Structure 1
């Protein structure tokens, strides 16, 4: 799996994902201040699943009908330290779930998926 981390994903989380062997790019490093539309385009072009803490990606996909085949993982992990966020993200990615083609919402207590 290949991932594209939104700017709001802390560097510590991006680094840990990379250390666990995942192919990840960080918007803040490759195309800072990109619009959400642009991030969707970049992910689609490079076949990457978007990782974000930004709920607006759901609005783009479901209200504006901007589609992606790759998938989006929206982490709703408010109140967690960067270390705890990193652990939750890695645990999710290691879960063997299929993320491609799904809008996935991860909270502290559950994971919910909707087909794109």
Structure 2
């Protein structure tokens, strides 16, 4: 599974995910300053699951009607440790593939909520 990490995902977290063998395209590295609609479109075009801390992504997809990417992992916690971010993403990816692809997965304080993308 390919990931697109939004600009708000720390570079050390991206490095840890890559070290675990995941293919991760980083907005911070390659598309700094890109607007949310363009990030969503890029994830869709590249066939990536979008990993983000940005609450606006869900609003753009569910309320504004932006065409969704293959999946979204929305993280809702205060980043204090890049390893925690990587661990959470890895644990979510360890779920059944159908629990991430085609879904908007929200992680907050150890709880996971998953809903289908439009």
Is TM-score (shorter-chain normalized) higher than 0.5? yes
Question: Are 2:114 and 1:113 equivalent residues in the alignment?
Answer: yes
Deviations 1:20-72 (A, max 9, x none): 11111000111110000000111111101100001110100111011214111
Structure 1: 5+ residue stretches without partners: none
The alpha carbon displacement at 1:77 in A equals: 1.8
Q: What's the counterpart of residue 81 of structure 2?
A: 81
Structure 2: 5+ residue stretches without partners: none
Alignment RMSD: 1.4
Alpha-carbon contact 1:73-1:105 (below 8 Å) kept? yes
TM-score, normalisation: structure 1:
0.91
The alpha carbon displacement at 1:90 in A equals: 2.0
Q: What's the counterpart of residue 103 of structure 2?
A: 102
Q: What's the counterpart of residue 70 of structure 1?
A: 70
The alpha carbon displacement at 1:15 in A equals: 0.6
Q: Which ranges of 4 or more aligned residues in structure 1 deviate by more than 4 Å?
A: none
Instruction: Map 1:1-116; keep pairs closer than 5 Å.
Output: 1-78=1-78, 80-98=80-98, 99-116=100-117
Alpha-carbon contact 2:9-2:52 (below 8 Å) kept? yes
TM-score, normalisation: structure 2:
0.90
Alpha-carbon contact 2:48-2:69 (below 8 Å) kept? no
